[in-house]
Structure 1
């Protein structure tokens, strides 16, 4: 017997649909301004989404103010599924005329900030649809930050309970109330988007393209307005501006709030920030030097190409300034590994994330020391907090689920008929929410349009699993979850 009161869940989903409906008005206004007939599609989709959103709110209102644990698990998964369904409507009825499979894939890729696309001919696409793709990623990125700060630590998923203090322990909060935290996050997110837009415009990018790329850079999402992605602009200034904002989007947003409030040291005190920035610097310099020597490219150009594309992949943004698949087998292998790294917790990035690598490294170090000094006491701490067995088990379980999900997805895609490189890189890029894969089909200069529908559904599920950190979805498959 189902013993979960789903009314609060549908009430919150209804409010999310209202937000989506309001967001649809922006591309409607843009299309109306340029005389594109798709404005009617966005207007109709907005009205339909608003109707169901208000209906869910009115029919599921309850006096309860908070969600319990099981309701939160249910909400986290179903919110993404439902919002993606309504977010797909413009792609179905606008000039793209995508079928439901392609439209849902595009919406899921957008809201999970993955950045994989099935649309060909972005250069000729109506501005409303281009803006809608960017808005999906921008809204999805903000939701991901909120999920990483407030929801996943509460659910104790993948070691995220390490960061629960920043949303529940009053002594360690950067702001006193949850509502203040939400407002601060919104202002920081909006401020970064505006700053990126201004700098891109000053760098020579047209204003409309600058707005779209600012939204998808800060959200580390990767949708572009051009088929050639950022490679369309042969501008060092554009590439470096986007590189900087991709890095900022991969940093913990609670630290950015502290930075904005005058606490400049809090960001650098965070060990995952130091590891993340150090790793990016080392791997970019190494790849830049290697590319300069092997491809006979000027050092400054090689460094720019290497840094931009490495930052894009590590932060799970997915922009491409060139086809790095042509750099040779060594580069392909490196980029395949970089696909799963990810950024910092509390950011918009996907992947395994830096703090989990830190925890795994500490566990491995302790295990090695205990081999020759079995009686030595070595308490583990992270950021001044003790790392207990519960956290270590949670991190290791996440690592196993991450690798297992990639392998299972790879096997399924191979069974569907995809070649090895497309299947393995497609599985990795979907689970890690990166976007482009490797190879001529789904590589930096390709897209996912030619894949069979079955492969697109598999990848859509993989994107959702990776974004919600696996156990948030998998727990719903346990029959006991639904019982009293």
Structure 2
């Protein structure tokens, strides 16, 4: 017997599907303006998507839209899957004529801001389709922020309960008051996007390319309008502008609200921000010095290359300004490790997240001290908040599941005939929502199109699991979840 009232869940899913339908009108207008016949594709898919979205809304109207805990779990997974299915439609019927598998993979990669792609020849695509890819990542990015600051802390997933907003209800309901915070973050998100557009345009990009890359940089998504990614411009100014906004995209967006009000204190007092910035600088400088020494590259160029690509991978953006797979074994090992790190919580970045590393280091320090001082009490605090046992268990469980799923996915990919490097880095980049892997097939200058369909479905699942913090999806497979 199903003990969950699905009406509020389906009502919200219908609203999200309707938003996707309205978003399809943007590339439709662009294609129509340039005279590309693909505008009919977006007009048709928008109409069909809006029909189903409104149908879900009308058939599931309810006076109470506050969600219980189980409804919130179900909504989080169902919304991403359903929205992705509708978002894939333009790829199937446009001139790319992608298969259902490839279209779903591309849409899932976009909405989860992963950035892996199966499309080659981007320079020859209609502008509307390029814009649709970027819009998917931009919409996915704002959805990820909202999920990270409202939904996941409420669900107590992976230690996220540390980030329960003071304005959030602490009962078993998600209430509209949390929407006030989401609206403020949305304004910050749009402002940063416009600032990035202006910066890229001043750096030498065309307005169309600047808009696309601003959306995929702030959302840390990584889709580009060229097959060679950012290397296709060979413009240092463009790279430095993107470094700034990729770093910003990996920071907690709630801190930017205080910054917009003229108070930078909360941003810098956040310990994960200090660790995040420090980690990026130290790793980039170290790799830059090593690259300048081993590859006989000018020190400034070496720093530019390492800063850009390190920030791109750590923030899980996935742009590439060079094929770092050719820099030698040390670089390959370093970039694979960086794939797992991720940005801050409450950002658009994926990965394990900086705050979890902080918690894990705290726990490790306590365990080491207790080896020689069994009765010593060491209270743990994160950002002046006490870290209880539940949070520690949640973080450690997340780390275990994270690594376990990477290896499980790697074995499944290898069973489909993929080589070890492609299977391992493909699994890691999907779970971490980074984008490119390593090796000649899915490396920084590669593409996921050659992979078998079964591998693409597995990687799509990996992207979803990584983006929704695993437990949100895995709990749905527990029969007790569905019983009254």
Question: Which residue in the other structure is 2:33 paired with?
Answer: 33
Deviations, residues 91-149 of structure 1 (Å, cap 9, x unaligned): 00000000100000000000000000000100111100000000000000000000000
Query: Alpha-carbon deviation of 1:264?
Result: 1.0
Question: Which residue in the other structure is 1:108 paired with?
Answer: 108
Question: Which residue in the other structure is 2:477 paired with?
Answer: 477
Task: Find the aligned partners of 2:44 and 2:302 in 1 and give their Cα distance.
Answer: 48
1:69-108 matched pairs, under 5 angstroms? 69-108=69-108
Task: Find the aligned partners of 2:412 and 2:246 in 1 and give their Cα distance.
Answer: 32
Partner SS, residue 442 of structure 1: coil
Query: Alpha-carbon deviation of 1:179?
Result: 3.2
Question: Which residue in the other structure is 1:265 paired with?
Answer: 265
1:48-447 matched pairs, under 5 angstroms? 48-168=48-168, 177-447=177-447
Aligned length: 479
Partner SS, residue 441 of structure 2: helix
Report which stretch shifted further, 177-186 or 441-450.
177-186
Report which stretch shifted further, 256-265 or 296-305.
256-265
Tell me, yes or no, if the aligned pair for 1:149 and 1:166 is still in contact at 8 Å.
no
Tell me, yes or no, if the aligned pair for 2:150 and 2:165 is still in contact at 8 Å.
no
Task: Find the aligned partners of 1:184 and 1:370 in 2 and give their Cα distance.
Answer: 44
Tell me, yes or no, if the aligned pair for 1:288 and 1:299 is still in contact at 8 Å.
yes
Query: Alpha-carbon deviation of 1:182?
Result: 2.0
Task: Find the aligned partners of 1:179 and 1:103 in 2 and give their Cα distance.
Answer: 32
Query: Alpha-carbon deviation of 1:167?
Result: 4.7
Task: Find the aligned partners of 1:169 and 1:307 in 2 and give their Cα distance.
Answer: 40
Partner SS, residue 75 of structure 1: helix
Query: Alpha-carbon deviation of 1:216?
Result: 0.1
Deviations, residues 212-245 of structure 1 (Å, cap 9, x unaligned): 0000000000000000000011111000000000
Task: Find the aligned partners of 1:263 and 1:448 in 2 and give their Cα distance.
Answer: 44
Partner SS, residue 351 of structure 1: coil
Tell me, yes or no, if the aligned pair for 1:77 and 1:472 is still in contact at 8 Å.
yes
Task: Find the aligned partners of 2:401 and 2:306 in 1 and give their Cα distance.
Answer: 30
Question: Which residue in the other structure is 1:173 paired with?
Answer: none
Query: Alpha-carbon deviation of 1:2?
Result: 0.6
Task: Find the aligned partners of 2:373 and 2:333 in 1 and give their Cα distance.
Answer: 37
Q: TM-score, normalised by structure 2?
A: 0.98
Query: Alpha-carbon deviation of 1:261?
Result: 1.3
Query: Alpha-carbon deviation of 1:177?
Result: 4.2
Task: Find the aligned partners of 2:179 and 2:361 in 1 and give their Cα distance.
Answer: 36
Compared CA separation, residues 248 and 166, structure 1 to 2 (3 A): farther
1:461-472 matched pairs, under 5 angstroms? 461-472=461-472
Q: TM-score, normalised by structure 1?
A: 0.98
Query: Alpha-carbon deviation of 1:263?
Result: 1.7
1:453-464 matched pairs, under 5 angstroms? 453-464=453-464
The root-mean-square deviation of aligned C-alpha atoms, in Å, is 1.0
Deviations, residues 352-385 of structure 1 (Å, cap 9, x unaligned): 0000000000000000000001111111111111
Q: Which runs of 5+ in 1 are unaligned?
A: 171-175
Runs of 4+ residues deviating >6 angstroms: none
Report which stretch shifted further, 181-190 or 81-90.
181-190
Tell me, yes or no, if the aligned pair for 1:322 and 1:444 is still in contact at 8 Å.
yes
Question: Which residue in the other structure is 2:173 paired with?
Answer: none
Query: Alpha-carbon deviation of 1:65?
Result: 2.7
Tell me, yes or no, if the aligned pair for 1:149 and 1:167 is still in contact at 8 Å.
no
Tell me, yes or no, if the aligned pair for 2:168 and 2:177 is still in contact at 8 Å.
no
Tell me, yes or no, if the aligned pair for 1:422 and 1:437 is still in contact at 8 Å.
yes
Query: Alpha-carbon deviation of 1:169?
Result: 6.6
Question: Which residue in the other structure is 2:42 paired with?
Answer: 42
